[in-house]
Chain A
Amino acid sequence: DAKTTQPTSMDCAEGRAANLPCNHSTISGNEYVYWYRQIHSQGPQYIIHGLKNNETNEMASLIITEDRKSSTLILPHATLRDTAVYYCIVPNAGGTSYGKLTFGQGTILTVHP
């Protein structure tokens, strides 16, 4: 998998936008960027993914730079329930790691009242 780099932790005030950055400078042209999050003591939850265009769903928006070397996950109105570890993942399209999601350390997002 292409290596990703994320800040260890971030804080956000409730009701404000949370912007979580991710660097993936070694990403290949056909590799997607996926975001998952893990709330304490639960299994990871899929948030959103994209290839090169910006994406939006009911949970979040994903902004991918034109050179695709970095992206930002945006939670537009963070709530206390958004406190979690957020993982940015660039899975391989195939090869020996077929089927594998590589989770790094992720970003611990803490939303404050």
Chain B
Amino acid sequence: ETGVTQSPTHLIKTRGQQVTLRCSSQSGHNTVSWYQQALGQGPQFIFQYYREEENGRGNFPPRFSGLQFPNYSSELNVNALELDDSALYLCASSLQRGALDTQYFGPGTRLTVL
């Protein structure tokens, strides 16, 4: 059984640029959630996708957007990067939508915005 994988591991961008982060779900999981974790803080929920549609969203601006593909892999896109977007971005997959199903997290992508 393959776990959740994310790419790239690390990324450096400059303010104003756009970035795409990728996530492959655990086998058999149709739900993907994305979280942002600033240094020294707990992860903050960005949004969840279930069967290619957004299922719930946290307090993040529209420049944070996502996609889920038919094979349930997912992308997180961030436009007009700001310095405060520097963080660890975590992807989690689960068998069912909602927060009540166990979420399995990937290792994260460390984004640095200069």
Spell out A's residues near B (CB within 8 Å). 1, 32, 34, 42-46, 49, 85, 87, 91-94, 96-106
Q: Which residues of B are found within 8 Å of A92, using beta-carbon distances?
A: 99
Give the dominant DSSP class at A's interface. loop
One of B13-21, B42-50, B68-76, B79-87 at the interface: B42-50
Q: Is B100's CB under 8 angstroms from A32's CB?
A: yes
Closest to A30 in B: B100
Using known A-B contacts A96-B56, A99-B33, determine if residue A43 contacts B97 with beta carbons closer than 8 Å. Answer: no
B68 to chain A, nearest CB (A): 12
Other-chain residue from B58, B100, B108 in contact with A43 (beta carbon distance below 8 A): B108
Give the total number of A-B pairs whose CB atoms are below 8 A apart.
74
Q: Is B103's CB under 8 angstroms from A101's CB?
A: yes
B57 to chain A, nearest CB (A): 9
B108 to chain A, nearest CB (A): 5
Other-chain residue from A34, A44, A102 in contact with B90 (beta carbon distance below 8 A): A44
Q: How many residues of B contact A (CB 8 A)?
A: 28
* B77 close to A (CB within 8 Å): no
The 4 A-B pairs of least Cβ separation, nearest first, read A103-B42, A43-B105, A99-B48, A91-B99
Q: Which residues of B are found within 8 Å of A96, using beta-carbon distances?
A: 56
A87 to chain B, nearest CB (A): 6
Q: Which residues of A are found within 8 Å of B48, using beta-carbon distances?
A: 98-100
Q: What would 29 A/B residue contacts be, using CB atoms closer than 8 Å? A: A32-B100, A42-B107, A42-B108, A43-B92, A43-B105, A43-B106, A43-B108, A44-B92, A44-B105, A45-B105, A49-B102, A91-B98, A93-B98, A93-B100, A97-B45, A97-B58, A97-B99, A98-B48, A99-B31, A99-B55, A99-B56, A99-B97, A100-B45, A101-B35, A101-B99, A102-B45, A103-B35, A103-B44, A104-B42
